């Protein structure tokens, strides 16, 4: 976690648990969703939490940059350290790194497509990625998986507030209104040396063990 500014991340986690809905005295858990067909069958050599390629000449990855800041809690609002969070998604052109993804020959070679981050002592994690591109039948979304002590405890998908594709997305519309809200990101624009980027903050809540 060395390539981008951590100040907002370090300030974010204390408020994330408070922003999650409370049900019967506990925090509502993050809804589960299907993994989908494009979890990488060949993981990239680089599996860190920065999915963007940047060198002395500037950004090479195509698309709008998105900084994702989150924290993992159990339903009793206890932050969970040493939990592994994974994300995977389509690039700016709607193409995954999976070997059987459609139009793979047109994939952005400078986009990592998959990343991992271990939570710190406060349960916090972060990723730098791009706004996912669209492909037929789906709205804009990011896949997320959580592993605790090597056990897979959550697989879900994150969506984007106000996206025009949400109303016709079958996976998104399997959720109740309350579940949709818990899986919806609200990206906020901010200025960077390479132009406008976006950031989104969100809690991830798993059942207490």
207-208-209 Cα angle (round to 5): 110
CATH superfamily, with its number, for domain 7-206: Aromatic compound dioxygenase (2.60.130.10)
The residue-averaged pLDDT of 135-151 equals 96
Q: Is the pLDDT of residue 61 over 60?
A: yes
Q: Are 61 and 53 in contact (CB under 8 A)?
A: yes
pTM of the model: 0.91
How does residue 17 score in pLDDT terms, banded at 50, 70 and 90?
A: low
Q: Which of 67, 124, 128, 141 is catalytic?
A: 141
Catalytic residue status for 107:
no
Comparison of pLDDT for 175 and 12, the residue scoring more = 175
Q: Which residue out of 93, 116, 135, 163 is catalytically annotated?
A: 135
For the question of residue 135 being annotated catalytic, the response is: yes
Partners of 25 in the β-ladder: none
CA distance 168 to 164: 8
pLDDT tens digits, residue range 71-113?
Answer: 999 999 999 999 999 999 999 999 999 999 999 999 999 999 9
Provide the 3-class DSSP secondary structure of residue 143: strand
141 part of the active site: yes
Q: Quick one: pLDDT at residue 12? A: 53
Tokens describing residue 64 = 């709008």
Q: Does residue 16 carry a pLDDT above 90?
A: no
103-130 in b/e burial notation, b at 16+ Cβ within 10 A? eeeebbeebbbbbbbebbebbbbbbbbb
Average pLDDT score over residue span 22-38: 87
Q: Is the pLDDT of residue 188 over 70?
A: yes
Percentage of the chain beyond pLDDT 70 is 89
Catalytic hit among 143, 182, 198, 201 = 143
Among candidate residues 124, 128, 138, 201, the one labeled active-site is 138
The domain ranges of the chain are 7-206
């Amino acid at each position: 976690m060395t390539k981008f500014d951590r100040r907002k991340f370090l300030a974010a986690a204390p408020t994330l648990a408070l922003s999650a809905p409370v049900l019967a005295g506990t925090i509502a858990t993050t809804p589960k969703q299907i993994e989908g067909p494009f979890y990488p069958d060949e993981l990239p050599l680089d599996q860190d939490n920065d999915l963007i390629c940047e060198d002395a000449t500037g950004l090479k990855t195509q698309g709008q940059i998105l900084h994702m800041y989150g924290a993992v809690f159990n339903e009793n609002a206890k932050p969970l350290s040493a939990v592994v969070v994974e994300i995977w998604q389509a690039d700016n052109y709607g193409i995954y790194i999976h070997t059987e993804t459609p139009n793979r020959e047109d994939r952005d070679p400078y986009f990592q497509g998959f990343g991992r981050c271990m939570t710190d002592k406060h349960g916090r994690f972060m990723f730098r990625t791009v706004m996912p591109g669209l492909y037929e039948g789906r709205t804009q979304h990011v896949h997320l998986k959580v592993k605790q002590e090597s056990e897979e405890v959550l697989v879900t998908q994150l969506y984007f507030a106000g996206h025009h594709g949400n109303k016709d997305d079958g996976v998104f519309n399997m959720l109740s209104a309350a579940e949709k809200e818990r899986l919806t990101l609200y990206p906020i624009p901010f200025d960077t040396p390479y132009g406008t980027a976006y950031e989104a903050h969100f809690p991830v809540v798993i059942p207490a063990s």
